[in-house]
Structure 1
């Protein structure tokens, strides 16, 4: 009992210290990181790239958070720039600029819906994904997913 209590106290102290010193939020053990994307039909030959678990699974019950570095981050960054007028680097690295851009998008989504449908936490999770607008990619006429700059919800 004493060991588990000590471990619990240390865990709380560590989280409090991390919070004080600006440590970034990360996916918890129960969360599954998005590490790929699924093509979701927008209309015609236009598709949305929506972060999901690997292999185009269509499982959107995953997160993209600070510290992630993968294709799912790039997909989010491209849509943040195209759909939410953010000017962040598209480098597949979810750092402080991407986190702030996500907070900006979440704030804008809340304003659009006229209520606080999302927590403004800078994390891209299942709920944010359901309200988020994604850039459409054009696969017509031999194009291999050209950016359209036009955005849709999934």
Structure 2
């Protein structure tokens, strides 16, 4: 029993140290980083694969399939002209700010649940009619 408690204590200490390395804007249990893409309400959207959940965040500095999906959406629905490389750099941030402004939501350059609901997304059916999702 002592060995189990010691192992749990060590794991907790290690995990606490790992959490400290994650930027505060993405270190919330409720909204993990979007690391994939999936279909939701007739559209392709960034998702968190483990759950899976559409309630996830993307911020500048992130590199993932979720970012690539966001870039595709910004290109198809907002004519952003981005390279779809999965790297959330300054160009992606600026394009997202423009999309947020067009959608009438706070333009902070970060993708999360509020932005997901506000902007239009690439439709699953391949049409040019971008869609809003809940």
User: Equivalent of 1:29, from 27, 30, 37?
Assistant: 27
Identify unmatched segments of 5+ residues in structure 2.
1-22
- The alpha-carbon deviation at position 56 of structure 1 amounts to 7.5
CA RMSD of aligned residues (A): 2.0
Report the structure, 1 or 2, having the larger helix content: 2
When normalised by structure 2's length, the TM-score is: 0.73
Residue 148 of structure 1 pairs with residue 109 of structure 2 = no
Structure number having the greater strand percentage: 1
Residue 16 of structure 1: aligned partner: none
d(CA) in 2 for partners of 1:63, 1:152: 19
Could you tell me how far apart the structure 2 residues matched to 1:96 and 1:26 are?
Answer: 19
Q: TM-score, normalised by structure 1?
A: 0.64
Mapping for residues 34-53 of structure 1, pairs under 5 Å: 34-42=34-42, 48-53=43-48
Q: What does residue 118 of structure 2 align with?
A: 131
Moved over 4 A (4+): none
5+ residue gaps, structure 1: 1-24, 43-47, 111-117, 139-146
